Structure 1
Amino acid sequence: MAIPGLKKTDHIGFTVPNIDEAIAFFSQHFAFELAYKFGPFIAEDNWMAEHLNVNPRAEIKKIAVMSDSSINLEIFEYADNIHRSKTAPNNADIGGHHIAFYVGDMDSAVAYLKEQGIEVLGSPNIMTDGPTAGESWVYFMSPWGMQLELVSSPNGKAYERSSSLSLFDPR
């Protein structure tokens, strides 16, 4: 049984070292628009620990919310007033994550990233077997070290022929 009243995902939230850099990156390369930005937020009591599971003295410098009309991003920038990790987790770390962006033409998209000086990890992987046959994907890095991914499956994926569940499809 799911949470009563559950609808859909509202947003993906993550922390960056420089919110203006993140806003520019997602605006320039992925057509996200800034809906609003606010902050700072500082709590004098234990609110930060109780509600956000961070150091009680942590300070949020800014929060920005952006959208590309299919997904919302809630981006945080914390102040450097506490000891915290300054390295983004990788996929093998607990809490490791990535955001995947669908593209219609993988080769053009990878060429664009490289022309923009964005680090692409390897070359696109083309899935030929299993449930993801028909999909190609490649990871790349944001300027602050967050893992991102490009995905393409213009003719669909193999699982679609045998599964009764249809995954969200941005095509």
Structure 2
Amino acid sequence: MLKKLFGKKEKLSEEVIYAPLNGDVVELEKVPDPTFSQKMMGDGVAIEPKDGKVVSPVNGKVIQFFHTKHAVGIESESGLEILIHVGLETVNMGGEGFEGHVKEGDKVKVGDPLITVDLDLVKEKAASTITPVIITNADVLENVEKKYTVGASNETEIMTTKVKG
């Protein structure tokens, strides 16, 4: 539904978010951390990763890259802000087992490498490898369609959104 704002129709653009990791896409509510499962940071999905290669799920730019390299924020070309948080309680690892391939301000395209992570080390030292993929500025969304897929690859669509413009 298009809303009228000052006599003009509000434009909606569609944004596809691809899997930033190879693995199984699961419901955010299944993440064993209330910050994510109760959607305190925003809506999205989570991925049970099969490998440690994290790539960009959208075309856009890096707006936040945590010094511990466990999480990255990207703003898509349509204005979505997407947080990829690798594992749970991985901040406590202090960057051990994580290698960053980007810095804040870098432009990225779908599939560009963001982070490489040693999943075996995460399994040993953190609570979980499950990786939430969150839209942190849901106020710009008209709607979001989530796609739960077993064996997603970096070319698998995991969310399709309509972004208010």
* Common fold by TM > 0.5: no
TM-score with structure 1 setting the length: 0.26
The structure whose Rg is larger is 1
- More relative contact order, 1 or 2 (CA 8 Å, 6+ apart): 2
Which structure is higher in strand share?
A: 2
TM-score with structure 2 setting the length: 0.27
Which structure is higher in helix share?
A: 1
